[in-house]
Amino acid sequence: MLQLKQISSNKSFGGSQKVFSHFSKVLSCDMNFAIFLPSEDVNQKYPVLYYLSGLTCNELNCVQKCGFQKYAAENGIIVVCPDTSPRNIEGLDTSAFSWDFGYGAGFYVDATIDLYKKNFRMYSYVTTELIEMINSNFPAIPGKQSVTGHSMGGHGALICALKNPGLYQSVSAFAPISNPVNCPWGHKAFKGFLGPDESTWKAYDATELVSKYKGPPLELFIDQGSEDQFLKENQLLPNNLVEAAKKVQMPLIYKLRDGYDHSYFFMSTFISEHFAYHAKFLK
């Protein structure tokens, strides 16, 4: 049992929406995460859906804007929302940080650049320490977990599933950064965290990873708004992922939602479909 500090707790749809802080050994700093528990029955265990947020976000964005609690309660699923990066690291030079690099923008990679490699290890935090902590401290069913996310978090969800065959029962993503080695956001983040050798960036790119996937059958579920400004600016590149999956015959559901943008209005409209989708694999 890790020492967790409860920050808040609110009753919601018969369950509890809570926020905790803890010290992360992987990130060498304090971290916050939000967790929705479908009921207060301590004898009941549930599968878990991990939700990874996007640029500038923290553990509260999805909790407050997405409206997922109703569907989590109906399907009996715990939902865990970690922060998007380590924060408030003593002595760290943050002069290179901006809204799309650094705090709030960890990109779910394990940094290899000396300046960041001690703390910016969000990939390992999400796929190891966070899961172990949830399984040890909450009524989670070990091994029954799925992952989803939005934008940078959609990128995170996809790579976490593709790099860890069998760890997650299912994966979905809202407007994910699907091919970061070929977009401005990805170039900036990967160069900053991983260095100038672009060959190392492919290890964190879903479009590159689909051809290397070997493991239990995995289907990718991508939701995308047609009026997403970042789709039009070639930051997301979902068609590259669709084509890569088609080449290796990896199942992929791609839903292009007419008229929707990149916001939580888009996500909240279709979040019920994602819970129904993950429930098929988790129950």
**Do residues 177 and 197 touch, judged by C-beta distance below 8 A?**
no
| Active-site hit among 151, 170, 172, 178 | 151
| Active-site hit among 83, 205, 223, 228 | 228
H or E element at residue 17: strand 15-24
- Could you confirm whether 262 is annotated as catalytic? yes
Q: Cα–chain-centroid distance for residue 133?
A: 17
Burial of 25 by CB count in 10 Å (0-12 exposed, 13-18 middle, 19+ buried)? exposed
Residue 144's SS3 state is strand
- Could you confirm whether 151 is annotated as catalytic? yes
Q: How far apart are CA 223 and CA 77, in angstroms?
A: 21
- Could you confirm whether 53 is annotated as catalytic? no
**Do residues 244 and 186 touch, judged by C-beta distance below 8 A?**
no
Amino acid at the residue 130: L
Residues taking part in catalysis: 151, 228, 262
